[in-house]
Structure 1
Amino acid sequence: MPHAATKDGVRLYFEEAGSGTPILFLHEFAADYTNWEPQMRHFSRAHRCIVFSARGYTPSDVPLSPAAYTYEHFYTDALAMLDHLGIAQAHFVGLSMGAYSSLQVALHAPQRLHSMTLAGVGSGSSLEQLESFRAQCRATAEQFDTLGSVEVAKITREAPGRIPFLVKDPRGHADFYAALARHDAKGSANTMRSFQGGRPSIYSMTEAIRQVTTPGLIICGDEDDACIEPSLFLKKHLPASGLTFFPKSGHVLNLEEPALFNATVERFITIVEAGRWNQRDPRSIAGE
């Protein structure tokens, strides 16, 4: 099985398909590398596509210590994957946790990205609610530790942001949560405790975000309430960003609406590669 090694020796399982300009897909908390299959099949027709399971998600390694699951580990793991494959620069396509990591790469190693797609980004960012969000993350981590992944999957499958998926595609929703039930409980607990419950709010990085010139596409489901305001915030402050909302959609955008997701991201990447996705013209800003 192919694995890439991180700076701290964690082995990350990956798969790739196709040839051309690379696209690196970064999954969300409840997913793993398999949940990008609709995108792998579509984009590998014209691009070199790479998916991997994050640390804590088998068949990648599952470190025992929560200290090995910080947000710094996750974004540098993405860079380690590029290094292992000899890729200098790639399009990053991230969902939720993966979108946050993509943004962190743009903040710390912008030369490694052609572009970034930030889908379902920013839940838990409210500074007023940050401590309660972190407390909930710790509680969920404890559930993984004590109840296991099967029971936590039953508890979380009807979270508000997941309901649109259930309504429009019950079969796909069931498959998604059957996969979550198979996740390593210790890896999920550590990811929830340290990454989800320890990452800085995007609202605390306003000035740094304003300096990011990487072309960015922000995608949000209009029924993913936790991500609407963060998506608007990023659109306001990322200089070369565009924003789109998927109607009647929740958090799992790439699986809820795979055709729309693929077409939207493909158009974005095509424009970026043509050199036509630029920073916003100041003349278009009211008051400028």
Structure 2
Amino acid sequence: MNLNSPAFSYFVHDGLKLAYFDEGDPNGAPVLLIHGFASTAIANWVNPGWLKSLGEAGYRVIAIDNRGHGLSDKAYDAEAYRPWVMAEDAVALLDHLGIPKAHIMGYSMGARISAFLAIAHPDRVRSLVFGGLGIGMIDGVGDWDPIADALLAPSVDDVTHLRGRMFRAFADQNKSDREALAACIRGSRDLVAKEDVVKIEAPTLIGVGTKDDIAGSPQQLAALMPHAEALDIPNRDHMLAVGDKVFKQAVLEFYERLGNQ
């Protein structure tokens, strides 16, 4: 297995060619990773060490490049990026690989997608990890229109909005298609209904950095769910929490407690 630079494969769903990697132990329990907005499978899961940590722990590690991101096809209509639409991409990947049920882990936008997946397809979910998104999943995470404006600005030097500048720099770093990302940020912000969240039965771990000003409280979200626990990731903001060793250790212990459920 290649835990440093995984090989990507492709499948087609909803008319789009979507990229993914499938690494780790092929006989291990499958973990499907869904990255955040403006990120990629490599940036979210390989560079911060998740593939290595999960692979060495004996898991089969699968990660998708969401539509509009990374090596996957781009769409330019905001409607193509509704979170329940992207959730169906993830389910289609499980179908493509012949996996009936997996641990699902998403970060930020990926956590939102994971929630919609769990609501629509509870039978496909062994467990959930929501990283970088707490009660904001239900209550909202602020005004994101400046993010789209920042992505479409001629240069990062033209962007004065702090969060917009952060995501524009991140998009440039990942050599992203900024027009596709602008459509994505406009289409992917649907909130998860409280009445749906309370019905999610899967064991869930919700990890948020204590300096994250985007996610909202993990404790408030966990309190609404029948089998959820919250994790404070000390002294980490939205960008840095994803690779934190406290977060990784908590996830590995969470999976270990679940055993063969």
Question: Under TM normalisation by the shorter chain, which class is it?
Answer: 0.7 to 0.9
Report how far residue 217 of structure 1 moved. Answer: 0.4
* Preserved CA contact (<8 Å) 2:102 2:125: yes
Q: Does 1:53 align with 2:65?
A: yes
What SS does structure 2 have at the residue aligned with 1:103? helix
Alpha-carbon spacing, 1:263–1:69, altered in 2? closer, same or farther (3 Å):
same
Aligned partner (choices 175, 180, 187) of residue 180 of structure 2: 187
What SS does structure 1 have at the residue aligned with 2:176? coil
Aligned partner (choices 52, 55, 79) of residue 44 of structure 1: 55
Alpha-carbon spacing, 1:31–1:269, altered in 2? closer, same or farther (3 Å):
same
Query: Which position in structure 2 is the counterpart of 1:10?
Result: 16
* Preserved CA contact (<8 Å) 2:219 2:229: no
* Preserved CA contact (<8 Å) 2:212 2:238: yes
CA deviation profile, 1:138-168 (whole Å, cap 9, x unmatched): 3321332343679769964875xx9xxxxxx
> What letter corresponds to residue 10 of structure 2 in structure 1?
H
Q: Does 1:88 align with 2:100?
A: yes
Query: Which position in structure 2 is the counterpart of 1:32?
Result: 40
TM-score, reference length from structure 2: 0.84
CA deviation profile, 1:171-229 (whole Å, cap 9, x unmatched): xxxxx837645111112111111113xx12x3xx2222222110000111111133233
Q: Counterparts in 2 of 1:186-225, with a 5 A limit? A: 186-196=179-189, 199-200=190-191, 202=192, 205-225=193-213
Structure 1 Cα separation of the partners of residues 225 and 53 of structure 2: 28
Structure 1 Cα separation of the partners of residues 159 and 93 of structure 2: 30
What SS does structure 1 have at the residue aligned with 2:188? helix
Query: Which position in structure 2 is the counterpart of 1:245?
Result: 232
Query: Which position in structure 2 is the counterpart of 1:235?
Result: 222
Larger radius of gyration: 1
* Preserved CA contact (<8 Å) 2:150 2:164: no
Structure 2 Cα separation of the partners of residues 104 and 157 of structure 1: 26
* Preserved CA contact (<8 Å) 2:16 2:73: yes
* Preserved CA contact (<8 Å) 2:39 2:171: no
What SS does structure 1 have at the residue aligned with 2:15? coil
Structure 2 Cα separation of the partners of residues 88 and 111 of structure 1: 8
Q: Identity of paired residues, percent?
A: 26
Alpha-carbon spacing, 1:124–1:242, altered in 2? closer, same or farther (3 Å):
closer
Alpha-carbon spacing, 1:100–1:11, altered in 2? closer, same or farther (3 Å):
same
* Preserved CA contact (<8 Å) 1:100 1:122: no
* Preserved CA contact (<8 Å) 1:149 1:181: no
TM-score, reference length from structure 1: 0.77
* Preserved CA contact (<8 Å) 1:92 1:115: yes
> What letter corresponds to residue 248 of structure 2 in structure 1?
N
Task: Extract structure 1 runs of 4+ deviating beyond 3 A.
Answer: 122-127, 148-159, 176-181
Alpha-carbon spacing, 1:152–1:92, altered in 2? closer, same or farther (3 Å):
farther
> What letter corresponds to residue 41 of structure 1 in structure 2?
K
What SS does structure 2 have at the residue aligned with 1:56? coil
What SS does structure 1 have at the residue aligned with 2:214? helix
How big is the alpha-carbon RMSD for the aligned residues of Structure 1 and Structure 2? 2.7
* Preserved CA contact (<8 Å) 1:151 1:181: no
CA deviation profile, 1:11-68 (whole Å, cap 9, x unmatched): 1111121121100111111311112011101111201101121100131000132221
What SS does structure 2 have at the residue aligned with 1:227? coil
Q: Extract unaligned runs of 5+ from structure 2.
A: 1-7
User: What is the number of equivalent residue pairs in this alignment?
Assistant: 246
Alpha-carbon spacing, 1:67–1:157, altered in 2? closer, same or farther (3 Å):
closer
Structure 2 Cα separation of the partners of residues 17 and 153 of structure 1: 40
Q: Which has the higher helix share?
A: 1
Structure 2 Cα separation of the partners of residues 100 and 151 of structure 1: 30
Alpha-carbon spacing, 1:150–1:53, altered in 2? closer, same or farther (3 Å):
farther
Question: Is 27-36 or 118-127 further displaced after alignment?
Answer: 118-127
